[in-house]
A and B are shown apart, each in its own frame.
Chain A
């Protein structure tokens, strides 16, 4: 199967490039990133606050399947260009993590397909490394649990 999501993390750098092609019109892709109740579904997080404007803050709260809060995260929208781009900060409120800068670029490929390019810039290569390791700690388990929940709800 073709890998639709690519992650480029070049050695010695402090940024990550994530690219993904979607079988969705670019309008819907942008909507998924800017509508709180949709973000909640695909990010698997609770959206406590979401101000879709320049200098508007957003805040997420992520819990484990038992309802225990694992971490909160948040940031500020810096620039929003409808159906084109979002520039924002993002920070996981956990020891050892600092604010990162995210450049999201939304691109129409055809009427019903689009592409997302996301560049995340960290304070240092070490901070980037810490983020890359996170799925080992719990990210992957949680994603797996969420998938399980979806399968269960389909039954």
Chain B
């Protein structure tokens, strides 16, 4: 549960979302990622650390360089998280629909 909350907090930040979108297209080094932002390099590093801790990003060592990969499986957790809420409303609305249809046909 805590981990899931971390994923939500991670994607709540606009810069981190921008990083995710960037890395989703191809694996990149921290330097290449930072080059896309006006923010200071340490700030970008901090964002990368948060995204890596909650597993939205994965690190891959290539020689001396570290490449960041996007982890779509983790992103799926976010939509799975919403699914019970959607189901709850879907059940309610299905019920609303059947109640109103039977009332209407009786009239």
Given the complex of chains A and B, what is the CA–CA distance between A22 and B101 in angstroms? Answer: 10
Given contacts A7-B86, A132-B81, contact A146 B11 (CB under 8 A): no
Do residues A29 and B100 form an inter-chain contact, with CB atoms below 8 A?
A: yes
Closest to A124 in B: B12
Least CB separation from B8: chain A residue: A129
Chain B, interface size: which category? 20 to 34
Flag if B85 contacts A5 (CB, 8 Å). Answer: no
Q: Is the CB of B17 within 8 A of A11?
A: yes
Query: Is the beta-carbon distance between B88 and A28 smaller than 8 angstroms?
Result: no
Q: Is the CB of B84 within 8 A of A135?
A: yes
Q: A7-B89, A12-B12, A43-B92 are in contact. Are A32 and B84 (CB under 8 A)?
A: no
Q: How large is the interface on A (under 10, 10 to 19, 20 to 34, 35 or more residues)?
A: 35 or more
Closest B-chain residue to A116, C-beta based?
B93
Q: Is the interface of A mostly helix, strand, loop or mixed?
A: helix
Q: Is B41 an interface residue (CB 8 A)?
A: no
In the complex, residue of chain A having the shortest beta-carbon distance to the beta carbon of B86: A7
Tell me if B5 counts as interface (CB < 8 A to partner A).
yes
Contact B85 A134 (CB under 8 A): yes
Which B residues have a C-beta under 8 Å from some C-beta of A?
A: 5, 8, 11-14, 17, 78, 81-82, 84-97, 99-101, 103-104
A residues contacting B by CB (< 8 A) are 3-7, 9, 11-12, 18, 20, 22-24, 28-29, 31-32, 38, 41-44, 116, 125, 129, 131-136, 139-140, 143, 146-147, 150
Can you spell out 6 A-B residue pairs with CB atoms less than 8 angstroms apart?
A28-B100, A28-B103, A29-B100, A131-B85, A140-B88, A146-B95
